[in-house]
């Protein structure tokens, strides 16, 4: 089972790597990025606090999908920006992307800094693996809550995961 989860993670990561490299090659200046909708999360968390169960499983699945996607994109971005030890030169060559084009792109730029994380990936990737596994909705909400707690520790991370960033997560913490 765990092997399948790793295979899924790395398959999704490979797709995200290919997409990022294609976008950079094609001159796309801004990486597409989704945030957890604050209102949806607040409704689900409030309901969970009151009933001790998740009833809006479709909404929770939407949040899970966004969170996993964002962790994978952070992982890919961190590697492409040279913060993981080496560049994926084989993948870059396959897509026709050079080191120079990586240095010149604004694709990773958000408000003057890159959307990467040396700090959080060590904690976020294992949580993404937990989210990819077949957990119950009540388990998923706990893992997502832990991801958001990691993101809450840094304002940049919070703004990359949740509508309203730190302030939105502060509000969610009230439930």
What is the pLDDT, as a whole number, of residue 173? 83
pLDDT band at 175 (very low <50, low <70, confident <90, very high): low
Helix (H) or strand (E) segment spanning residue 54: none
Q: What is the mean pLDDT of the chain?
A: 95
Tokens found for residue 154 = 């840094």
- Cα atoms in the Cβ-side hemisphere of radius 13 Å centred on 168: 22
What does the pLDDT read at residue 111?
A: 85
- Cα–Cα distance list, 163 to 117, 132, 158 (Å): 19, 22, 8
Torsion of CA 86, 108, 32, 132, to 10 degrees: 40
- Which pLDDT band, with edges at 50, 70 and 90, does 2 fall under? confident
Cα–Cα distance for residue pair 149/82, rounded to 1 Å: 26
Residue that wins the pLDDT comparison between 85 and 39: 39
Domain boundaries, the chain: 2-26+58-172
**b/e map 157-167, b = 16+ CB within 10 Å:** bbbbbbbbbbe
| The overall pTM is greater than 0.85 | yes
What are the tens digits of pLDDT across the range 86-124?
899 999 999 999 999 999 999 999 988 899 998 899 999
Using CA atoms in the order 111, 168, 144, 137, what is the torsion angle rounded to 10 degrees? Answer: -140
């Amino acid at each position: 089972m765990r092997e399948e989860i790793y295979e899924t993670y790395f398959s999704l990561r490979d797709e995200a790597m290919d997409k990022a490299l294609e976008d950079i090659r094609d001159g796309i200046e801004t990486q597409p990025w989704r945030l957890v909708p604050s209102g949806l999360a607040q409704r689900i968390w409030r309901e969970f606090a009151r009933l001790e169960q998740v009833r809006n499983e479709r909404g929770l699945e939407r949040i899970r999908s966004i969170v996993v996607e964002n962790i994978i994109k952070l992982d890919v971005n961190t590697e492409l920006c040279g913060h993981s030890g080496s560049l994926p030169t084989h993948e870059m060559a396959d897509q026709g992307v050079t080191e120079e084009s990586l240095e010149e792109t604004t694709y990773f730029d958000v408000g003057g800094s890159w959307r990467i994380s040396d700090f959080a990936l060590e904690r976020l990737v294992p949580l993404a693996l937990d989210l990819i596994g077949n957990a119950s909705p009540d388990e998923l909400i706990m893992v997502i809550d832990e991801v958001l707690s990691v993101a809450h520790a840094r304002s940049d991370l919070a703004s990359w995961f949740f509508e309203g960033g730190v302030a939105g997560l502060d509000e969610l913490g009230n439930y």
